[in-house]
Amino acid sequence: MENMEVLKNRITYGDVRAVSKLITMLEAQDPFGNAVVKSLDSLPSQASIIGITGYPGAGKSTLIDQLTTCYRAEGKKVGILAVDTSSPRTGGAILGDRIRMQSHWSDEHVYIRSMATRGHHGGLAKATGDAIQVLEAAGYDVILVETVGVGQEEGQIIDLAQTVVVVVAPGLGDDIQAMKAGLLEIAHLVVVNKADRSDADATVHALRNWVSHVIPTIALNGEGIHAVIDAIDAHQRKIVEQHTYRS
């Protein structure tokens, strides 16, 4: 096994194999992997960490695919951590978001990793926070974290992401009342995907009573994606300004 300093250096040089190797060790709770990630603590990072959460079937993965295309057009290096439910047989991720993002598979500046929850609650895998740190150390400019999407148990993402995007589909109806005590509390902006449906306008209007930033999109064809990027960038700038003011 290579020593800690060698693996650390490979990661800081952006070696994808080293990144994958360390994340695998972290998922397995390997003591050596934990020691390596602790050694990365002091490294500076300017990464934008964006959480993508919401109900299953709303189009989170499709939205991430389109966001990645836009960020790559800006020349940014993108890391994607897609958290899936675990297979009861293998403990691995069931859904395999890498398949759903095939258009970026050959891009050396996009890293996509499916992570299994393995019984961990909060919509994320236990090693997600450490995996984010690895991607930061490897020089990724944008890190997109897709949660499982199980409704109101997604609160952990707010502790890891600077900006949380909640993705919903039209026709929520009375579900908006339940969301007020769950997803809407952690949302910095809400995306109403599949906005070509007849009930989309009503959903957007209802949500704007509770969240200031609600953006309709049709992720399949990219409509509204630039508005989402602009809203995320505005929120990220606000965070920087607040940090500078407090400092």
Domains in the chain, ordered, with CATH? Answer: 4-246 (3.40.50.300)
Using alpha carbons, list the distances in angstroms from residue 180 to 84, 185, 187, 207, 211: 24, 6, 10, 10, 10
pLDDT score at 120: 46
Taking 50 as the threshold, does the pLDDT of residue 122 lie above it? no
Query: pLDDT digit string (tens) for 31-76?
Result: 999 999 999 877 777 899 999 998 878 899 899 999 999 999 999 9
User: What is the average per-residue pLDDT within 107-133?
Assistant: 78
pLDDT score at 242: 72
Using alpha carbons, list the distances in angstroms from residue 32 to 3, 115, 148: 9, 19, 28
How crowded is residue 76: how many other Cβ atoms within 10 Å of its Cβ? 16
**For residue 179, what pLDDT band results from cuts at 50, 70 and 90?**
confident
Residue type present at position 155:
G
**For residue 197, what pLDDT band results from cuts at 50, 70 and 90?**
very high
The alpha helices in the chain, defined as continuous H runs, are: 4-12, 16-27, 31-39, 60-73, 97-100, 128-137, 157-160, 175-179, 183-186, 200-207, 225-246
User: What is the average per-residue pLDDT within 140-147?
Assistant: 94
Whole-number Å distance between alpha carbons of 7 and 22: 8
pLDDT score at 96: 47
Are the CB atoms for 125 and 20 separated by under 8 Å? no
**Residue that the structure tokens 């700038």 belong to:** 237
- What whole-number percentage of the chain has pLDDT above 70? 81
pLDDT score at 180: 67
**For residue 155, what pLDDT band results from cuts at 50, 70 and 90?**
low
**For residue 163, what pLDDT band results from cuts at 50, 70 and 90?**
very high
Residue 173 token pair: 């109806």
Q: What is the mean pLDDT of the chain?
A: 84
- Largest separation between any pair of C-alpha atoms in the chain: 58
Taking 70 as the threshold, does the pLDDT of residue 174 lie above it? no
How crowded is residue 118: how many other Cβ atoms within 10 Å of its Cβ? 15
Nearest Cα neighbor of 37 from 150, 164, 135 is: 135
How crowded is residue 62: how many other Cβ atoms within 10 Å of its Cβ? 20
Strand ranges of the sheet holding 142-146, from the earlier edge strand across to the other edge: 110-116, 78-84, 142-146, 48-54, 163-168, 189-192, 214-216
pLDDT score at 100: 58
Are the CB atoms for 162 and 239 separated by under 8 Å? yes
pLDDT score at 2: 73
Whole-number Å distance between alpha carbons of 138 and 243: 24
**Residue that the structure tokens 């974290």 belong to:** 145
pLDDT score at 95: 46
